[in-house]
Every structure is written in C-alpha cells, then in structure tokens.
Amino acid sequence: MSGVTLDVPDGEILTVLGPSGCGKSTLLRLVAGLDRPDSGEITIGGEDVTGREPKDRDVAMVFQSYALYPHMKIFENIAVALRLRRLPREEVGCRVAKAAEMLGISGLLGRYPRQLSGGERQRAALARAIVRDPKAFLLDEPLSNLDALQRERTRAELKTLFKEIRATVLYVTHDQIEAMTLSDQMAVMRSGQIEQVGKPEEIYARPTTFFVAGFVGSPQMNLLPGDLFPGGAHTVGIRPEDILLAPEGPMEMGVVLRESLGSQVLLSLRGGGLELKALVPAGRPAAENERVRLDPARAHFFSADGRRIDSPSISSSAVTRKGRDGH
C-alpha cells in the first residue's frame, strides 16, 4: 500500500470499504501499531505515534474473531487493559460495570467466553474496547461473524453508542450496507489505494472513479459502453433505479428475468446489443418487453483510465439527445 492519506475527524465514524485483499485490514493494523509502515506517519489526537508500540497509542480495537481471552472471565477480559495501566481497583470495577451496562452484558461478567453466544461475545469485545475510553476505536469487520438479523440490530446500536460517547472510529468492512449506514465519512479502497473519500450519500451520488461506481450500490450500477451518448466517455454508468421505463422510450428491450426484492422488482433486460438491470416498483405488471429511456442527466461518465468526467459539454450535448429522444 502506498500514497494513502486518510483523516478521521474527532467524534466521527470513518468506514473503510473495499473488497477482500484491498489492504483495508493492513491499514487498520498500521494505525493500531501491530504492523510498521515502511514510510509515512500516523498521528492520533494530534500526536505522532508512528514509532510507538500499540499499547502506547491509546487506541482500542475490536477484532473480527473478537479475540476474547478464552482463559479469562468476561470481567477480566474487559478489565485487563485498565489493570495493566495500573488504575485503582474501584475505578476499574466501576468502569467495567458501566461499559457492561451500556452493552447489556452485566449479567455475563462472571462467565467465560466459550459460555457466551456469538452476539454476546461480540458485545463483550465491544465493552473491552469502550471501557478504555481511548482516543480512537479501530474495528476490523466486527459484525461479519453475526447472522443477518443480529448484524442489522447491532449496526444500529453501534451507531447510537458511538455517537453517545462521541467516539472517533475507524471501521473496516467489506459490507457496503454497514459502511453506508454507519459512516459520517466513508473511504473506498482498492488494491492498497484510496479511491474516494466522502459522505456516504455523496459517494453514492457522485462516484469519482469507475471502480467506486461499480462497487458501491446494490444492485450494482449498469456499466455500459461510452458511445451510448456523445462526448467521448469510455464508459457510462446508470444505477438500476435510474433506468426509466416508459411507453415513449426509444429502445425496446426484452425482459429476461424478474427478481422480486419485496417492495421492488429487479428486471434484467436485453435488447439492442445491451444488457441492463432496472429497479421498478413491485406493483408494475409483468410484461415480455419494456420500452426503455436512458437519461444522461442521471448517468455517470468515466474516461478510459477510470476517472469521472464532469465536463459541461457532455452534459449539454447529452441533454440535446435527451430532447431528441423525447420527440
């Protein structure tokens, strides 16, 4: 990894989203001090910690496997970091009790990790981080070992919790829903490089690279040849929900597949040398063919090297074509 610059503002949650093997975990380990960078610097709370041991960085970490110490009771697991910092006994007890209460595991403090369910272990791991009241929290895919229902519930709780204690959080995940819902800021990473940083809505609305366009958003954005519109773009992306199905649409496409997503239906369309996915309300009656209109105002344009093109000439010429389509 090289050339990565990332800044987590105080009290905010920054998630790093990327496919597996993109270097996001390495990034987290570098911040924690578990791995050493060849060059560059890491500052936490304004202090340069680049050369420091993990224990001297005032960070807490939650691991994917939770990494609870199997031979210690949950109380010891949570308390041990405070004890190692030689805090007075009463304060340790008080802070552990408070952290456990925040996470609803007060009744489990006397048990061993193996006696806990997956969700309870996850909470214990979080309590072990929160009790430290560190300058920064580092979370490495903390929800990936939970089932879907627990994950959704915990996701919301995490956000509430971190906002309540005004935590500064660096959160690594490969799950874009987690990233979208939790983040104040979100960074998309790919093969050791940061592709884009911004608010989640911003990244969704204006992906600055071809990779981000394809990676963020589900169902995935349609990525089509650039010559669909004039202006010389290499690729054009349109989200499935931005595909317009209207009787006056200029293109006739066959419906290859209807997938119900509950309130919406995902249509796979084929025709005119193109394949598209379109997201439409569930109420829409099934048809063998649909007429399709591609709106350039809702399209994203990318150059051959994968960068976003935002030149006005493209949008104006595209608007022209849109006008023509209307007739």
Site residues, another protein (CB under 8 A): 29, 32-34, 53-55, 59-61, 63-65, 67-71, 80-81, 84-85, 128, 138
For 34, other C-beta atoms within 10 Å of its C-beta total 14
Choice between 71 and 153, CB closer to another protein:
71
Helices (H) and strands (E) in the chain, counts: 9, 17
Provide, rounded to whole angstroms, the least separation between the CB of residue 14 and another protein.
Answer: 19
Between 84 and 148, whose beta carbon lies closer to another protein?
Answer: 84
How far is 194 from 183, CA to CA, in rounded Å? 16
CB of 128 or CB of 174, closer to another protein: 128
- Spatial separation of the C-alpha atoms in residues 144 and 123, rounded to whole Å: 13
Residue 137 vs 215, nearer CB to another protein: 137
Helix, strand or coil for residue 205? Answer: helix
Compute the distance between CA of residue 200 and CA of residue 13 in angstroms, rounded to an integer.
11
Q: Which of 82, 6, 78, 79 is nearest to 44 (CA)?
A: 6
Tokens coding 34:
């578990």
Min CB(326)–another protein separation in Å? 57
CB 76 → another protein: shortest distance, Å? 10
The distance of closest approach from Cβ of residue 269 to another protein in the complex, given in angstroms and rounded to an integer, is: 37
Q: Which lies closer to another protein via its Cβ, residue 18 or residue 33?
A: 33
Size of the chain, expressed as the number of residues it contains: 327
Among 94, 90, 155, CA closest to 122: 155
What is the C-alpha to C-alpha distance for residues 289 and 286, in angstroms, rounded to an integer?
A: 9
Using CA atoms, how far apart are residues 118 and 106, in angstroms rounded to an integer? 16
Tell me the closest approach of the beta carbon of residue 255 to another protein, in angstroms: 35
- Which of 80/280 has CB closer to another protein? 80
The vertex-270 CA angle with 266 and 271, nearest 5°, equals 145
Min separation Cβ 23 and another protein, Å: 17
Supply the Cα-derived Rg of the chain in whole angstroms: 24
Phi/psi of residue 57, nearest 5 degrees: -105, -5
**Residue closer to another protein, measured from CB, 34 or 265:** 34
Tell me how many degrees the CA angle 85-88-91 measures, rounded to the nearest 5: 100
CB closer to another protein out of 58 and 184: 58
Question: Measured from the CB of residue 80, what is the shortest distance to another protein in angstroms?
Answer: 6
The SS3 call for residue 227 is: helix
The residue among 71 and 298 lying less far from another protein, judged by its C-beta, is 71
DSSP label at residue 28: H
Q: How far is the CB of 32 from another protein (least distance, A)?
A: 6
Q: Smallest gap, in angstroms, from Cβ of residue 72 to another protein?
A: 8
Given a contact cutoff of 8 angstroms between Cβ atoms, the answer to whether 86 and 78 are in contact is no
Q: Sign of torsion, CA 123 169 43 47?
A: negative
